[in-house]
Amino acid sequence: MIRQLKGELVIMDSINTKPNYAALERKYNLDWRTVKKYHQGYEGRPATRNKGSKFDQYKDEIVDKLQIKRTSVKGIHHFMLRKYGFERIGSYSNFNRYITINKLKPKDKIKGHPRYEKYPGEQCQVDWKEDIKLTSKSGEVYVINVLHVVLKYSRYSHLELSIQKRFDDVARGLINSFIKFGGVPKELLFDNMSTVANTSTRPKRLTDSITRLSKDFSFKAKLCKARSPETKGTVEARNKIIDWIRVYDKEFETLEELQEILKDINKCMNIEINQETQMSPTALFYKEKEYLQPLPTRSIIDTYLTSNKYKVSSEALIRYGNSKYSVDPKLIGEEVTVDFLDNKLYIYYNGKLVTLHALNEKPLNYKKEHYEKLMKGKVDENDMNAIINDNLEMMDKILESRAVKVSEKAAMKSEEALIAYINQSNYGKWVINNYAHLTDDEKLKFIKDINEVLPFVKNKEQFISHMKYSMKLEHCKTIAFECLIKDTMRIDDSPCILTEEGLEYFSKKYKNEMHKLFKNVTEKTYEAQMKKQEE
């Protein structure tokens, strides 16, 4: 139609006839001003417009993350949200569209396979995500494994980080998943992991260890069929989400932080809509948990969860709880087992007792004879005894002098006391380092906000952990309000940050803000549902 209009206008100009815009308006069903624009040389809207995108500033970082082997766009989006916040990154659909339009990631080849389902509580699938190599910001290399346990019906998952892949690690991960689920499924389907299957026999058979565990917890253990990936397709599909953690290579500081990242990934995968069921795994799990078998007695659970194997470090130490205890240096690199009785730690090697320690809260516990063997050949024999005594005494004094205990009440008295209070936490280092780079005005507001919450803190570790997470996402605008949201909207059994008194106090104080927040969430949910129905 536009082409015909433009042609007619050209003919009129060639015969020096003035166009009748009103007549052309009726003929072509266009506004007369639009007709006039075409007569004056308007070519219409361009096929494409180069407006740029808010993601352009992150393009290099996105491309770098896409180069990481087996990573995913969803995983990168999760990472960017944690790093820059939702306001700057926005929804996954827009993020994925930007990557697709700009052809930043090649398409994956997809192999077809049949789909099958199970009834609620009937089956759970188990697999390892093995040998994930990650480097911390300081350059320390971690090789981790993630045990993935997923309920087939609801797709509700449990992730368990492990450094090794022993049966003890499998048992711990499975039992922790049962505790999280609140029950045991009737059947567990395993991949051909060596801790569960004797792959050297034909046909393959279950190991004695997993057979005993299955009897104690009343589930049927099965091995997936060879060359039949669809039999464990649910856990394989969900395993791709675990690859999100690869995006955090060189983006974390400690193993504890890596644990928190994995925990956050696990929460996301259990909340977000599953593409197969078109429902949130959490929503379906609400139904499935009613069909799970009850857990066995606590005494049976404890026999598996009380792990007693420890590897001796190069300093001739093993870690037990929050403390380290020495053994004979000849056992460096070996595995020892431990038992405790009457507040004493008994350490065995190959079934023989090699040493014992009194359990205590000291970070380092060296026996003089062990330290002497470590020092042998490094100092003069004549000075050995004096140097050992001096070193051990000095270590105790230095460690004691660094022990700082500050209560919530004391932390409110000064900036130094507050920093000492935060420094007591495993997450405090990150918070303090970021606090150091705030402006003076930002520091004053930060201290004021912290002091508002401190009288109502129920769980210090949860409080400082959430403070760190909020600072990362630039949410830490009003800390008290953030803590209130965290406690009000928590969906798992994690401890509350605030006391009941604190929840009541801040609920009243931020009543209008909470109402506005819930209203916005409800409206966005409704809009998303309506949009989905229209599509």
For residue range 381-438, what is the model confidence (pLDDT) as tens digits? 666 677 766 776 666 555 554 456 788 888 888 888 888 888 877 677 778 877 887 7
With bands split at pLDDT 50, 70 and 90, how would you rate the model's confidence at 213? very high
Residues in contact with 261: Cβ distance below 8 Å, sequence separation at least 6, in sequence order: 82, 245, 248, 252
pTM for the model: 0.47
Query: pLDDT tens digit string along 2-21?
Result: 778 777 777 777 777 788 88
How many of the other CB atoms lie within 10 Å of CB of 58?
A: 19
Q: For residues 481 and 503, give the distance between their C-alpha atoms in angstroms, rounded to a whole number.
A: 10
Higher pLDDT residue, 24 or 263? Answer: 263
The DSSP secondary-structure symbol of 478 reads S
Which residues is 339 bridged to in the sheet? 346
For residue 476, give both structure tokens.
Answer: 């830490």
Burial code of 342-374, b = ≥16 C-beta within 10 A, e = fewer? eeebebebeeeeebbbeeeebeebbbeebbbeb
Backbone angles phi, psi at 127, to 5 degrees: -155, 160
Chain-centre distance for alpha carbon 225 = 31
Q: Where are the alpha helices (DSSP H) in 196-254?
A: 208-217, 233-242
Query: pLDDT tens digit string along 311-321?
Result: 898 888 898 87
* Consecutive H or E run containing 144: strand 141-151
Q: Are 513 and 481 in contact (CB under 8 A)?
A: yes
For residue 477, give both structure tokens.
Answer: 């605008």
For 371, what's the count of Cα atoms within 13 Å in the CB-facing half-sphere? 17
Q: Comparing 62-66, 196-200, 212-216, 294-298, which segment has the lowest mean pLDDT?
A: 196-200
Query: pLDDT tens digit string along 74-116?
Result: 888 888 888 888 888 888 888 888 888 888 875 655 454 455 6
Q: For residues 199 and 459, give the distance between their C-alpha atoms in angstroms, rounded to a whole number.
A: 47
Percentage of the chain beyond pLDDT 90 is 11
The DSSP secondary-structure symbol of 293 reads B
With bands split at pLDDT 50, 70 and 90, how would you rate the model's confidence at 221? very high
pLDDT at residue number 112: 47
Helix (H, G, I), strand (E, B) or coil at 251: coil
Percentage of the chain beyond pLDDT 70 is 82
